A and B are shown apart, each in its own frame.
Chain A
Amino acid sequence: MLRRSLIAGAAVVPFLRNAARAARDAGVLRFGLSSYPPTLAPWQNAGTAAGTVQLIMNRGLLSYAPDGTLQGELAERWGRDGDAWVFKLREAQFHDGTPVRAEDIKWNLEQVAGEKSTAYLRAQFQQAERIEMPDARTVRLVMRTPNATIPLLLATFFMPVVKPGTTGAGAQPVGVGPFILKAAERGVGLEFEANPKYYKPGLPKLRGIRATAYADENLRVAALQAGDLDLIEYVPWQSMAGIEADPKLRLDATDGPYMYLVFNGKAGPFADARVRRAVAHAIRRDEIVRAAFFGRGKPLEGLPVTPGTEFFDSVRARAQAYDPARAKALLAEAGHPNGFSTTLLSTAQYGMHKDTAEIVQQNLAAVGIQVELKLPDWATRVALGNRGQYEFAVGGTASDSNDPDGMSAVLDGTLPPSYTRSINLPTPRVHDLLAAGRSEFDPAKRRAIYAEMQDVALEQAEFVGLAWRSQGYAMSSDIKGFHNLPGSIGFFSGYTLETAEFV
């Protein structure tokens, strides 16, 4: 009897599966996020999953096209007028049907720059002297100093335009994006349906998006392979080969984010630029790419200038290349012919940070630098980094844009202390050159400024590049129109969800 019941029960299971599996509704994309967004509030940095969700439901003045060039969103046209940026708005409506006017744009920019703002780009937009509205469809953003990078900032997911008065505690801001949030189950997932009033005719192509958070990267891949999901972000490197080999799936990966070393210049050997350069020349980056990223990445032997851009220079890109003899000579020159002992801060919470630290430890031992690893959880690592309680540390991030100005957060040691850049190592020359590049509009002059900036930064070596890491999306092979944006803007790929469709 028991045996018969068991067999009967087992026979039913495959049929139950269809009930349980988020069955593929026609035109609804099932998207596996790497985490549930900690907050849906606009303008704030809340991580890449939160940023992607912003791009599903919101749009700002500008965005990126699949090839990485800027394209207009709410701004149909934009251009420079002296120290001001001028944006001509197109006809568009908020999700509730209210038209978008120039004063709405002004209100959004004022929130970002406000005294009580927690916006990621707060400091940048506090440089606006005033915002003018010559007519209902024109916004003039007058800057205190000319700024060539404003359009790049406006194309990030940190600058959505939402309806005035719809933000605040517990409120769900009303946006203008291709999809409208219909339901959210905190910690589980979010459901969106197409915005019928979206300002781009024929878009979005999907009927809706069902985004589910899968914090475990292996389960995220398993769910894609099992057909529970159509698209996943943050493909773990160890799974990329398997996905490429699967004819039902497609991998779209690009080298964008990078790993690097930062230093504390307060005391000890790392106060000496020669020691920092010695460290740079002592590391075999191919080992990091192999061990931490399963070969999915490239050595980063200089500053993280996006290859293929006009600012990339193949000689400077190899300035910190592996050269143990040079490393030993620099150490000897700096008074450490037999090396020294030090501590490297990283985190055990993320495998790539831990693995990178271990390779650095091994490589430095070969030139006589004995490294002890300190691997607390991520929260502690960030706190220690921000307070300068370390000797040198492993970092991992992506630039804000493919423009050299996007590297400011890791290179400009004159900015306030942050775990993302070296500490107690002010870099006035780099700071000045970055500022000069930011306020220069002539492409040739900008190239010259950033070339000089790279030379200074490489000489000072407050930043030691380690590896570009591949950032990938994987999807069912019948999805068309979704693209991983090139270089450091890969995290903004959510922009292309509006053209994604099943074929």
Chain B
Amino acid sequence: MGWALRRVGISVLLVWAVASIVFVAIRLVPGDPAELLLSQGGMAPDPAAVEQLREQLGLDLPASEQYGRQMLGLLRGDLGRSIQDDSPVLDSIARRLPRTLELIGAAAVLALAVGLPAGVGAAIRQGGLLDRIGSALSGLALAVPVFVVGTLLVLVFAQWLRWVPAGGYVPLARDPAGHLVLLAMPAVTIALGLGAVVFRMARAAVLDVSARDYVRTARAKGLAPRRVLVHHVVRNALGPVVTVVALHLGSLLGGTVLVEYVFNWPGLSGLLVDAVSARDYPMVSGIILVISVLFVALNLLVDLLYAVLDPRVQHG
């Protein structure tokens, strides 16, 4: 119980620290939201109009008062309103986050579905055809930037073959088939790099575990090779793979921006970059806060998964 309370306390402190750091950091960067909003398209706004907008947005208040207001809002679960269009920040995040999570989730499923069996297979027949092809392809997938992969996919499948639209988004509820088709290309683009990581980690971990004494003992005892592989090798090799995938997924929460951009997928990463460009302080704070909370939660989930995969963790 005490452990759990401490953990909750640390989490709250973490959230406060993140909120405070973002509050200060975004204001240290030059650029004024009101000035920017009214200067779009290289236009010169009337300074009086800029002053008026600053007043309306509360940007003329002392920083300490702005900070106090934001923290009080956080306590009430209110992330504030966007400087650009006065809409609640929470609404925008609630709309955009599921799209990014869906993209990352679909990519993770694809990456695991292909990378894991391929990595295990490559390790079993080290130096074989699958290993050589897999290693070469994973090297290529890791070397090519996502925006190149994305642009190539658009060129081939949207412009040449005309099988799929060149990016975009329709809600699942309105058009399920269309939604999945539009999800496919960005998900594959992310899955390529992620799958390569999974392949490499799975291959290395299986090779590592295969050389352990207990595997040799299991084999010496005459256990069926399949049983040795599934129960002793793969199960023990999954730990590092899960860690790496989880860490990658965490960083993808704010890092799918290029893919979202290339495929016009209106997710959270794109919103964050736009908000930073527009110096939309409440939006930037809100998104980073939500991503941080999710990151913490993801790490907790990894700890729990570890415990399931390796009972020693629970005892340790």
Contacts and interface: CB of A to CB of B under 8 A. Distances in A.
A222 B86 contact: no
Given A38-B40, A219-B154, A226 B166 contact: yes
A14 B86 contact: no
Given A19-B178, A117-B52, A170-B87, A219 B43 contact: no
Interface stretch (B28-36, B61-69, B131-139, B302-310): B28-36
A39 B34 CA distance: 13
Contacts of B42: 257, 395-398, 420
Nearest to B280: A38
A384 B44 contact: no
Given A19-B181, A20-B165, A223-B165, A383 B86 contact: no
Interface string A251-263: 0000001000000
A397 B277 contact: no
B159 A222 contact: yes
A187 B96 contact: yes
Interface stretch (B1-9, B242-250, B256-264, B286-294): B256-264
B43 A228 contact: no
Given A378-B277, A380-B30, A420-B44, A226 B39 contact: no
B215 interface: no
Interface stretch (B122-130, B169-177, B216-224): B169-177
Contacts of A187: 92, 95-96, 266, 270-271, 274
B164 interface: yes
A377 B26 CA distance: 14
A409 B151 CA distance: 39
Which residue, A19, A169, A397, has most C-beta atoms of chain B within 10 A? A19
A22 B168 contact: yes
A406 B29 CA distance: 33
Interface in A363-386: 376-380, 382-384, 386
A371 B43 CA distance: 26
Contacts of A41: 85
A379 B277 contact: yes
Interface in A202-243: 212-216, 218-219, 222-223, 225-228
Interface string A59-83: 0000000000000000000000000
Interface stretch (A44-52, A316-324, A455-463): A44-52
Contact of A227 (B45, B162, B170): B162
B238 to A, nearest CB: 23
B126 to A, nearest CB: 24
A122 interface: yes
A383 B151 contact: no
Given A20-B178, A215-B261, A397 B41 contact: yes
B75 interface: no
A6 interface: no
B115 interface: no
Contact of A118 (B29, B49, B179, B182): B49
A17 B49 contact: no
A119 interface: yes
A215 B36 CA distance: 18
Interface string A1-43: 0000000000001101101111000000000000000111100
Contacts of A397: 41-43
Nearest to B85: A39
A44 B262 contact: no
Contacts of A169: 86
A379 B32 CA distance: 7
Interface in A399-458: 409-410, 415-421
A150 interface: no
Interface of A: 13-14, 16-17, 19-22, 38-41, 44-48, 50-51, 115-120, 122-123, 169-170, 185-188, 212-216, 218-219, 222-223, 225-228, 257, 349, 376-380, 382-384, 386, 395-398, 409-410, 415-421, 491
27 contacts: A19-B178, A20-B182, A47-B40, A120-B43, A123-B48, A187-B92, A187-B95, A187-B96, A187-B266, A215-B261, A215-B270, A216-B261, A218-B151, A223-B168, A226-B159, A228-B166, A257-B42, A349-B277, A376-B30, A379-B29, A379-B277, A383-B35, A386-B32, A398-B42, A415-B44, A416-B46, A418-B45
Given A116-B56, A118-B53, 19 more contacts: A19-B177, A20-B165, A20-B182, A21-B165, A21-B178, A44-B37, A45-B45, A118-B38, A118-B50, A118-B52, A123-B48, A186-B87, A212-B264, A213-B264, A215-B261, A219-B154, A222-B159, A379-B29, A379-B279
For the complex of A and B, the 3 pairs showing the least CB-CB separation, nearest first, are A379-B31, A47-B40, A397-B42
